[in-house]
Amino acid sequence: MTDIIFSALALVLGILFVSLAPSRIKPWLNLLAVFAVGVFSSMAAVGVLLGNPIDNIVATLPIFGDVAVRVDALSAWFILIVNFTCLTGAAYGIGYMRAYSERKSALTLHWIYFMVFQSSMLWVCMLQNMLAFLVAWELMSLSSLLLVMFESEREDTQKVGLNYMIQMHLGVAFLTVAFIWVYLKTGSLDMSAIGTFFAGNSNVWLFLLLFIGFGIKAGFIPLHSWLPHAHPAAPSHVSGVMSGVIVKMGIYGIIRVIAYLQTDYMLIGKVLLSISLLTGIFGIVNSAVHRDFKRVLAYCTIENIGIIGIGLGLGLIGLGLQNPIITMIGFVGALLHVLNHSLFKSLLFFTSGSIYQQTHTRDMEKLGGLIKQMPKSAFIFLIGALAIGGMPPFNGFVSEFVIYSGLFYGLNNAGMLHSIMMILSIATLSIIGGASVMAFTKCFGVIFLGQRRSHLHSEPVEVPILMRLPQYIIIVVMMSVALVPSFYIGAAQQVVSTLIGAQVAAVPVGVVGAMTSIGRYSLLFLGIIGVVLAIRFWLTSRQPSSVGPTWGCGYLAPKSSIQYTGKSYSKTLGKLLGGVLVEKKEYDELVEGEVFPKERQYVSHYSDFFEIRIFNGILTKWVELLNKFQFIQNGQLQQYILYGLGFVIAVLICSLFNWL
Amino acid sequence: MLSFVLIFIASLFFTGIVVRTKSLASGRKGPGIMQPMKDIWRSLRKGAVYSNTSSDIFQIAPSIYFASILAAMMVVPLGSQKGLVSFSCDFVFFAYVLALGKFFSIIAALDTGSSFEGMGASREALFSMLAEPAFFILMGSLGLLTGNTSFHDIFMNLHIGSYLSYALVTIACFVLIMICMIENSRMPIDDPKTHLELTMIHEVMILDNSGFDLGLILQATNLKFAMYGALIANLFIGNWPLYVSIPVFFGIQFLLAIVAGIIESFMARFRMGNNAQFILALSSLALLMLFGVLMS
Interface of B with A in 133-162 (CB under 8 A): 133, 135-137, 140-141, 143-144, 147-149
Residues forming a β-bridge with A68: A57
Q: Select the residue of A400, A430, A525 nearest B71 (Cβ to Cβ).
A: A525
pLDDT tens-digit readout, A60-90: 777 777 888 888 889 999 999 999 999 999 9
The full 3-state SS of chain B, as one line of letters, equals CHHHHHHHHHHHHHHHHHHHHHHHHCCCCCCCCCHHHHHHHHHHHCCEEEECCCCHHHHHHHHHHHHHHHHHHHCCCECCECCCCCCCCHHHHHHHHHHHHHHHHHHHHHHCCCCCHHHHHHHHHHHHHHHHHHHHHHHHHHHHHHCCCCHHHHHHCCCCCCHHHHHHHHHHHHHHHHHHHHHCCCCCCCCCCCCCHHHCCHHHHCCCCCHHHHHHHHHHHHHHHHHHHHHHHHHHHCCCCHHHHHHHHHHHHHHHHHHHHHHHHHCCCCCHHHHHHHHHHHHHHHHHHHHHHHHC
d(CA A449, CA B60): 14
* CA-to-CA separations, A94 to A27, A112, A455, A578, B38, in angstroms, rounded: 5, 14, 28, 42, 57
Q: Which of B133, B137, B107, B143 is nearest to B122 (CA)?
A: B107
d(CA B137, CA B142): 9
Q: A506 pLDDT exceeds 80?
A: no
Q: Which of B278, B229, B272 is nearest to B249 (CA)?
A: B229
d(CA B273, CA B199): 11
Contact A602, A585 (CB under 8 A): yes
Looking at residues A616-629, what average pLDDT do you find?
91
Looking at residues B65-78, what average pLDDT do you find?
92
d(CA A142, CA A169): 10
- Measured in angstroms, the CA of B89 and the nearest CA of chain A are apart by 6
DSSP character string of A419-449: HHHHHHHHHHHHHHHHHHHHHHHHHHHHHHS
Q: A352 pLDDT exceeds 90?
A: yes
Work out the pLDDT band at A284, boundaries 50, 70, 90: very high
pLDDT recorded at residue B251: 92
pLDDT recorded at residue A48: 86
Residues from chain B contacting residue A289 (CB–CB below 8 Å): none
Highest mean pLDDT among A195-209, A291-305, A595-609: A291-305
Q: B75 pLDDT exceeds 80?
A: yes
Residues from chain A contacting residue B50 (CB–CB below 8 Å): 545-548
Q: Which of A481, A186, A221, A545 is nearest to A336 (CA)?
A: A481
pLDDT recorded at residue A508: 63
Q: Which of A376, A503, A389 is nearest to A439 (CA)?
A: A389
Residues from chain A contacting residue B61 (CB–CB below 8 Å): none
Q: Which of A402, A432, A392, A277 is nearest to A338 (CA)?
A: A402
- Measured in angstroms, the CA of A379 and the nearest CA of chain B are apart by 10
- Measured in angstroms, the CA of B258 and the nearest CA of chain A are apart by 30
A539 to chain B, any CB pair closer than 8 A? The answer is yes
pLDDT tens-digit readout, B99-122: 999 999 999 998 888 888 888 888
Type and span of the H or E element at A173:
helix A155-186
Torsion of CA A501, A506, A509, A511, to 10 degrees: -100
Question: ipTM of the predicted structure?
Answer: 0.94
- Measured in angstroms, the CA of A533 and the nearest CA of chain B are apart by 6
Interface of A with B in 320-379 (CB under 8 A): 368-369, 371-372, 375
DSSP character string of A556-603: S---GGGSPPHHHHTHHHHHHTTTTSEEEEEEPPP-TT--S-----EE
d(CA A136, CA A64): 13
Stronger pLDDT, A103 or B64, i.e. the higher one: B64
Long-range contacts of B229-233 (CB under 8 A, 24+ apart): B229/B7, B229/B10, B229/B14, B229/B180, B229/B253, B229/B256, B229/B257, B230/B3, B230/B6, B230/B7, B230/B10, B230/B76, B230/B78, B231/B76, B231/B151, B231/B176, B232/B173, B232/B176, B232/B177, B232/B180, B232/B256, B233/B78
B288 to chain A, any CB pair closer than 8 A? The answer is no
Query: Minimal Cα distance from A415: which residue of B?
Result: B294
Looking at residues B79-91, what average pLDDT do you find?
83
Work out the pLDDT band at A140, boundaries 50, 70, 90: very high
d(CA A538, CA A533): 8
d(CA A431, CA A309): 16
Domain boundaries along the sequence of chain A: 264-534, 613-660
d(CA A458, CA A437): 31
Angle between helices B2-25 and B56-74 (to 10 degrees): 110
CB contact under 8 A, B212 and A449: no
**Residue type at position A528:** I
Residues from chain B contacting residue A400 (CB–CB below 8 Å): 92, 96
pLDDT recorded at residue A516: 73
Q: B96 pLDDT exceeds 70?
A: yes
Type and span of the H or E element at A131:
helix A130-148
pLDDT tens-digit readout, B252-269: 999 999 998 998 888 888
Q: A659 pLDDT exceeds 80?
A: no
Interface of B with A in 192-251 (CB under 8 A): 197, 207-208, 211-213, 216
Lowest mean pLDDT among A37-41, A251-255, A274-278: A37-41
Domain boundaries along the sequence of chain B: 2-295
Q: Which of A508, A528, A485, A409 is nearest to B92 (CA)?
A: A409
Work out the pLDDT band at A512, boundaries 50, 70, 90: low
Looking at residues A150-174, what average pLDDT do you find?
89
Q: Give phi and psi for A129, each to the nearest 5.
A: -100, 130
Query: Minimal Cα distance from A524: which residue of B?
Result: B71
Interface of B with A in 65-104 (CB under 8 A): 66-68, 70-71, 74, 85, 87-89, 92-93, 95-97, 99-100, 102-103
Type and span of the H or E element at A646:
helix A637-656
Type and span of the H or E element at A545:
strand A545-548
Type and span of the H or E element at A60:
strand A54-61
Q: Select the residue of B55, B63, B129 nearest A532 (Cβ to Cβ).
A: B63
Question: Three-state DSSP class for A475?
Answer: helix
Residues from chain A contacting residue B128 (CB–CB below 8 Å): 434, 437
pLDDT tens-digit readout, A453-504: 888 888 888 888 888 999 999 999 999 998 888 888 888 888 888 888 766 6
